[in-house]
Amino acid sequence: MATELRLPLLGDIMTEGTLRRWLQADGARVEAGQPLYELETDKVSFTVEAPAAGVLRRLVTEGEVVQVGGLVGRLEEAAEAGPAPSPEPVSLPEPPVPPGPASVEEPVGPAPPVGPARLRATPAARRLARELGIDLAALGSERRLREADVRAWQAASERAAPEATAYAGRRRAIGERMVRSLQTSAQVTLNSEVRVDAVLDMIEGLNREWRERGVVLTLTRAVVKAVAVALGDHRHLNVRLEGERIVPREGVHVGVAMDQEAGLIVPVLHEVDRMSLEEVARELRELTRRAEAGRLTQADLEGATFTVSSLESTVVDAFTPIVDPPQAAVLGLGRVREVAAFEGSGVVRRRVATLSLTFDHRVTDGAPAARFLGRLADLLERPYLLLEGRR
């Protein structure tokens, strides 16, 4: 009796996945729990383990995209894995045959792990690649990679003209979701320029206080906290549109968009409403580290009603973010700018940033959304309000 291997569902919005790499040879005998293959979705990489013991029969090749529930292989019992041995003793004086079903080409039993040949790189090259976040495998070389190779690759990739690449994998997944979002929802974007002098001063002060604790606060992290506070007051945006129902969400769960080599990824900071500002800063840092290390779990990617997308560290002043259904809204944060402003009859220097709130008009209307945005602006202009509240 064979065990069928079907592509597992890893998240609520997953529809397909790429079988990136088989970890066992075709025909290999595997035990339950042994790693079988690497599955890559638009958000995560995941190692699928053998659900039972058996001899592996692969049915798809590495790199193939498979629908959720699609058959990728089978785990067969030993007897059905090959031609059955002859039931009768052979009487002719033939050369002895090895007993059992073993075939010459495909050894039965634990096979050595398959995969690319071990990458050769000097320790210094590995260290630099680690520091720059470069996957050495991308450099691929016959000889041992050196530090200079990594530097050259980095320099080249920074100035390289874009090459045509396949519209596939995470890139395609992101693209198709964005298209689907725009085609199936009614998105409206509201912009508001808010003063950030006070919040930036507070951030600077807190960072001095918190240095010993290893906590770093940024404007983006403060905005996430402000969003959580504001969502508590504006429940109409703390919802998910699931099919025919608008479902309110317990607690506040905020997605935070992060830019990665392979494309956008949006891990979720859960239960932000229960966190102090310091905890938000700390937890976001940890989430960022996990994302960089490729160690996000499926739970890290699910359950948000709202996303913060920050271009704070870029030259962008304002932009139109796209809602990621079934979420209700997304907030864009532009860079901090200095502007001249009237204060009484005088002109003063002021630091401002533009908040861009895109919401799905199917779940709420313009006026409440504007009030939500106004509350956000208020929280950032009187940032001590971020220090109170629930723990």
Partner 1 sequence: MARELLFSRAENEALRQEMERDPTVILMGEDVAGGAGRADQGFIDAWGGPMGATKGLIQRFGPERVIDTPICEMGFIGAAVGAAVTGLRPVAELMFVNFVGVCLDPIMNEGAFLRYMLGGQVSVPLVIKTAIGATGRAPERGGGSAAQHSGSMYSIFAHVPGLKCVAPSDPYTAKGLLIAAIRDDDPVVYCSHRQLAGTKGEVPEAPYTVPIGKARTLRPGRDVTLVGIARMTGVCLEAADRLAGKGVEAEVVDLLSLSPLDEETLVESVRRTGHLVVVDEDTPRCSVARDVAAVIADRAVDHLDGPVKTVTAPHAPVPYSGVLEAAYVPTPEAVVAAALATLRD
Give, as one character, the DSSP assignment of residue 35.
E
Q: How far is the CB of 147 from partner 1 (least distance, A)?
A: 4
Q: How far is the CB of 151 from partner 1 (least distance, A)?
A: 11
User: Is residue 361 among the annotated active site residues?
Assistant: yes
How many residues would you count in the chain? 391
Residues whose CB falls within 8 Å of the CB of residue 273, separated by 6 or more in sequence, listed in order: 228, 229, 231, 232, 251, 252, 390
User: Is residue 270 among the annotated active site residues?
Assistant: no
Q: How far is the CB of 122 from partner 1 (least distance, A)?
A: 5
Q: How far is the CB of 133 from partner 1 (least distance, A)?
A: 16
| Residue nearer to partner 1 on the CB measure, 121 or 202 | 121
Binding site for partner 1 (CB under 8 A): 122-127, 143-144, 146-148
Exposure of 82 in the CB half-sphere (CA atoms within 13 A):
20
Please state the φ and ψ torsions of residue 120, each to the nearest 5 degrees.
-100, 120
Q: How far is the CB of 60 from partner 1 (least distance, A)?
A: 39
| Residue nearer to partner 1 on the CB measure, 146 or 371 | 146
Q: From 358, 280, 277, select the one nearest 325 (Cα to Cα).
A: 358
What's the CA gap between 262 and 137, in Å, rounded?
A: 14
Residues whose CB falls within 8 Å of the CB of residue 390, separated by 6 or more in sequence, listed in order: 273, 274
| Residue nearer to partner 1 on the CB measure, 130 or 382 | 130
| Residue nearer to partner 1 on the CB measure, 144 or 382 | 144
| Residue nearer to partner 1 on the CB measure, 124 or 137 | 124
| Residue nearer to partner 1 on the CB measure, 23 or 150 | 150
Q: Which of 201, 259, 361, 378 is catalytic?
A: 361
359: helix, coil or strand? Answer: strand
The answer to whether the beta carbons of residues 55 and 41 sit under 8 Å apart is no
Give 341's strand partners. Answer: 348
* 197-210 vs 277-292: helix crossing angle, rounded to 10: 80
Q: Which of 135, 201, 233, 365 is catalytic?
A: 365
Q: How far is the CB of 141 from partner 1 (least distance, A)?
A: 12
Q: From 21, 24, 38, select the one nearest 76 (Cα to Cα).
A: 24
Residues taking part in catalysis: 361, 365
